[in-house]
Amino acid sequence: MLSFFKKNDPYRIVGLILILLITRVVFFLFFNEGLWALDVNESNLLETNTLHSGPLANLLFVGLASLNSQFVDAFLAGILILLNGIQLNSIFIRNASLQESTHVPAAIYVILLSASESFYHLSPELVGSSFLLIALNYVFYHIKYRGTEENILSTGFTIGLAGLCYYPFVWVFLMVLTIYLLYSGTITRRYFLLAWGFFLPLLITWLIFFLLDRGGDFLDTLFIEPFNYQVLGSLLNESVIVYGFTLLLSLIAAIQHFSGQGMTNHQILVQKAMSWVGFFGLLVIAVFGTEQLTSLVLIIPAMAYFVTKLLSDLSKKYLAELLFIGLFGIAIATMVLGY
């Protein structure tokens, strides 16, 4: 199974589709309790019972609610996960972030987002994570090539869009700022461009609500939701077997490659940047985690990166194969035991 995804061949995407189909068919045939409903308020995009959900995600859910179809919801979530996995994989290949150009990171990403029902439907976190992956692509490009001002502006803009989907994602701005300060040598003027790009979508959204005589309500929500924390929430009550196991593997890989031996300078910078992604991902889980597992979307790309490094470094290939198959098996077990 691992050897299939180790080839840098676009047709490996078929394997990603099969993983999505198998896990979702198994779930909806045998474990789905049929309790599905979209929590939307068509007259007020700022009011929802979905914690931390932003107006951009709420607008999408209003459109989805008009279709009133669980199948469409699950289908769109699966497509989004597939596209995110492909995007993450292309980021690593384009930046030569790993020793090998493979589809293993995408496979691990898809597997981890198939281990819980929380990811079988669209959520603010899942929608916002798409913008974060686009921002991550801009970040790596800037680290490698000292990108243009348009690149810096686009990085801030996509983070702002992610925050409009899921309010806690506005803190990712601090993560990117940290990465740029430590590893990019960015000139001072471009930090102002980054900030302007970040605030621009928030400003545009405020203007829209202002014209609707709801500008004050939007600002109240914007300044309250990113600070509306619930430390550890009830996330630890969920079945998180596969995620704890993958996090352990990621930590082992991070420790093994701490010195950067055998890596290019850019690969070392990418590893450091992904370490920050993982750290901020843990903070999001700890501070904003709820009974849903969707808050894991920020740390999962980092886990996919480090587990791929661990698998590629194993001298005995059959051990890597068994570990990968075991990860997939544990993902299925997590889905079954959790629900």
pLDDT at 312: 85
Note the pLDDT of residue 266. Answer: 84
Amino acid at 122: L
CA distance 171 to 145: 25
CA angle 52/53/59 to nearest 5° reads 165
pLDDT along the chain (339 residues), means of 10: 78 90 85 63 62 83 78 90 94 85 91 87 90 93 83 94 92 93 86 94 92 86 78 53 81 80 83 92 80 80 92 81 87 73
At 150, is the secondary structure helix, strand, or coil?
A: helix
Residue 46 DSSP symbol: T
The whole-number pLDDT of residue 233 equals 52
Three-class secondary structure of residue 166 per DSSP: strand
Domain range summary for the chain, segments of one domain joined by +: 10-33+50-338
What pLDDT, on the 0 to 100 scale, is given for residue 117?
A: 81
The pLDDT value given to residue 202? 93
DSSP per-residue codes, 64-131: HHHHT-HHHHHHHHHHHHHHHHHHHHHHHHHTT-SSS--SHHHHHHHHHTTSSGGGSS--HHHHHHHH
All residues at 6 or more sequence positions from 42 whose CB lies less than 8 Å from its CB, including other chains: 62, 65
Which residue type occupies 339?
Y
pLDDT on residue 130: 94
Whole-number pLDDT of residue 153? 93
Instruction: State residue 291's pLDDT score.
Output: 60
Q: What is the pTM of this model?
A: 0.91
